Amino acid sequence: MSKIKTPQAIRGTQDIFGPDAEAFAFVVETFERVRKLYRFRRVEMPVFEKTEVFSRAIGETTDVVSKEMYSFEDRGGESLTLRPEFTAGIARAFLTNGWQQHAPLKVATHGPLFRYERPQKGRYRQFHQIDAEILGAGEPQADVELLAMADQLLRELGIEGVTLHLNTLGDAHSREVWRRALIEYFAAVRGELSEDSQERLEKNPLRILDSKDPRDRQFVADAPKIDVFLSDEARMFFDAVTSGLDAAGVNWTRAEGLVRGLDYYRHTAFEFIPDEGSAAAAALGSQSTILGGGRYDGLLYSLGGPHTPAVGWAAGIERLAMLVGEKEPTATDVIVVAESDDMIPKAIGALAKFRELGFSADLIASGSPRKRFDKAVKTPASAIVSLRTSVEGVTSNFRGSNPKASEVEAAWNAMRHNI
RNA sequence: GCGAUCGUAGCUCAGUUGGUUAGAGCGCCGGUUUGUGGUACCGGAGGUCGGGGGUUCGAGACCCCUCGAUCGCCCCA
């Protein structure tokens, strides 16, 4: 007889259980509650799309598309991709379902995403995000609304030591002029940059600004600032965002080096990042951004739609869960113990009644009869009802002294002769 | 794609410069004690030491390969 080898989980996937799963659920529940306060409508999206949805949105040639997506061919030979982000799919749905009629449309969703990357702390191949978007809104108030929600969410999750880092990339023209200035500036010191940044100079010069290499950092401080290149309109937009945040009571800090890699981003870019030396920073390792987003006025057009302004953010549920602290599962209201096997039918009857009455209830009726009560005692519960047979006949014992236990006891006294 | 560290029981881990039959705690199963009880004690099951090859009289330990995990780099939509 050949021993069957247990299949292994896919690299980068997680089986979340116990306190981690409780923390995960807490994040999702809090998000659902807060998004309703801000009147974001729930949407459910497919987990896969035609590959072009993402390749057009993100850019055909980037490493991101060519190497880091989970793409495959279906039986008809069409290239499909497991969603690596929510935004492109939502933008596609906005166009294909005629959601323009609802603009400005505030939507929120959450669920699994997939990226073909090497796993490390806070990064998995299947991971989970919460996501909020406002489509068809070009006003800075939309940015403020979105950021106020993000800020309140983090507070309601009890996450501290995290600050909103805010930047503007300007409009398309300001951004392009700034980009050229950066290339010129860094090209002049090319030989002194890190190898990585010499390559970035060709592929993605803005990224040099947030390089971790000290060889680059010495030049970053004096690099050209976007502010110099902002058009009047772009400056007014950013001023409206920041004054709106101040009015909403959202703390923020200017981060001139914060950039986005993709061309469709305009104006606002932001990340919530743990403060240096905070507990949150220590808990997250090198993956420090816990919530990020920006304005992507160019995206819907790149998917073949009309020019449509939009802004959104997403946050990794796993990373947030790491910051919310231990979440113990809630205690069971009542544990029913059948201390002998002949009590099992009565115990099952009691269980059914307790659950009908809205009490959470669980049964212990296996293993050594002598140890069943001890098992119940070790289980977190408000109350225990234990059934056994003795020379006097059926006896029951109630244990527990707290408000919930009193409710359980009243219910038990009412049902005990009818089970 | 690159680098570092790690892999011994269900879990957390010990195991000396290579040396007899691989251990502990917790958990699990059973028994004794207690008998309105969260106690204590006794016993049991469970390991091809991630896998393969090599060095050696002898490998959990040393070498090579491989698989996996963790953390970091690149990338970060």
Burial (CB count within 10 angstroms: exposed 0-12, middle 13-18, buried 19+), residue A370: exposed
Identify the three-state secondary structure at position A133. Answer: strand
Q: Which residue is nearest to nucleotide B36 (CA to C1')?
A: A397
Mean pLDDT on A139-151: 98
Q: Do A81 and A143 belong to one domain?
A: yes
For residue A129, the model assigns a pLDDT of: 97
Q: Do A251 and A388 belong to one domain?
A: no
A87 touches strand B (CB under 7 A): yes
- Scanning residues 23 through 62 of protein chain A, those with a beta carbon under 7 Å from any atom of strand B turn out to be 54, 58, 62
pLDDT band of A393, cuts 50, 70, 90: low
Mean pLDDT on A196-214: 88
Choosing from A296, A323, A350, the residue where a domain stops is A323
- Provide the token pair at A206: 């803005």
- Using the structure, give the distance in angstroms from the CA atom of A38 to the C1' atom of B71, rounded to a whole number: 39
Report d(CA A184, CA A201) in Å as an integer.
10
- Provide the token pair at A327: 């979440």
Percent of chain A at pLDDT > 70 equals: 96
Q: Which residue is nearest to nucleotide B34 (CA to C1')?
A: A370
- Indicate which CATH number applies to the domain containing A283: 3.30.930.10
A397 touches strand B (CB under 7 A): yes
Q: Do A156 and A270 belong to one domain?
A: yes
Q: Are A339 and A369 in contact (CB under 8 A)?
A: yes
Report d(CA A363, CA A348) in Å as an integer.
8
A115 touches strand B (CB under 7 A): yes
Q: Is residue A42 part of a domain?
A: yes
Q: Do A235 and A350 belong to one domain?
A: no
Q: What does chain A come to in residues?
A: 419
Name every residue whose Cβ is closer than 8 Å to that of residue A35 and which is 6 or more positions away in sequence.
A42, A108, A132, A149
pLDDT, tens digit (0-9, with 9 covering 90-100), for A262-277 = 778 899 999 999 998 8
- Between A21 and A401, where is the model more confident? A21
A12 touches strand B (CB under 7 A): yes
pLDDT, tens digit (0-9, with 9 covering 90-100), for A332-363 = 899 998 888 888 888 999 999 999 999 999 99
Q: Are A117 and A283 in contact (CB under 8 A)?
A: no
Look at A7-21, A313-327, A392-406 and tell me which has the smallest mean pLDDT.
Answer: A392-406
Instruction: State the residue for tokens 């160019």.
Output: A298
A162-168 vs A252-254, strand pairing mode:
parallel
Q: Is residue A109 part of a domain?
A: yes
- Using the structure, give the distance in angstroms from the CA atom of A2 to the C1' atom of B47, rounded to a whole number: 19
User: Is the pLDDT assigned to residue A1 strictly greater than 60?
Assistant: no
Q: How far is CA A95 from CA A219, A285, A332, in A?
A: 43, 39, 47
Q: Which residue is nearest to nucleotide B28 (CA to C1')?
A: A367
- Looking at this protein, which amino acid is placed at residue A126? Q
- Between A283 and A151, where is the model more confident? A151
The secondary element (H helix, E strand) that includes residue A348 is helix A344-356
Q: Do A36 and A157 belong to one domain?
A: yes
A207 touches strand B (CB under 7 A): yes
For residue A379, the model assigns a pLDDT of: 83
Task: Write out the residue range of the structural domain in which residue A356 sits.
Answer: 332-415
Nearest to A45 by CA among A141, A133, A167: A133
- Using the structure, give the distance in angstroms from the CA atom of A15 to the C1' atom of B48, rounded to a whole number: 28
Our count of domains for chain A comes to: 2
For residue A2, the model assigns a pLDDT of: 43
- Looking at this protein, which amino acid is placed at residue A181? A
Rg of chain A (C-alpha set) = 28
A381-390 vs A332-338, strand pairing mode:
parallel
For residue A61, the model assigns a pLDDT of: 58
The complex's ipTM? 0.87
Question: In whole numbers, what is the pLDDT of chain A averaged over residues?
Answer: 91
A200 touches strand B (CB under 7 A): yes
Identify the three-state secondary structure at position A191. Answer: helix
Q: Are A68 and A117 in contact (CB under 8 A)?
A: yes
Helix, strand, coil percentages for chain A (3-state, nearest 5)? 45, 20, 35
Mean pLDDT on A86-115: 97
Instruction: State the residue for tokens 């699994």.
Output: A112
Name every residue whose Cβ is closer than 8 Å to that of residue A212 and which is 6 or more positions away in sequence.
none
For residue A390, the model assigns a pLDDT of: 63
Report d(CA A380, CA A412) in Å as an integer.
19
- Using the structure, give the distance in angstroms from the CA atom of A5 to the C1' atom of B59, rounded to a whole number: 26
Nearest to A346 by CA among A409, A411, A417: A417
Q: Do A252 and A153 belong to one domain?
A: yes
- Using the structure, give the distance in angstroms from the CA atom of A353 to the C1' atom of B21, rounded to a whole number: 56
Nucleotides of chain B within 7 Å of a protein C-beta?
Answer: 1-3, 28-39, 68-77
For residue A67, the model assigns a pLDDT of: 81
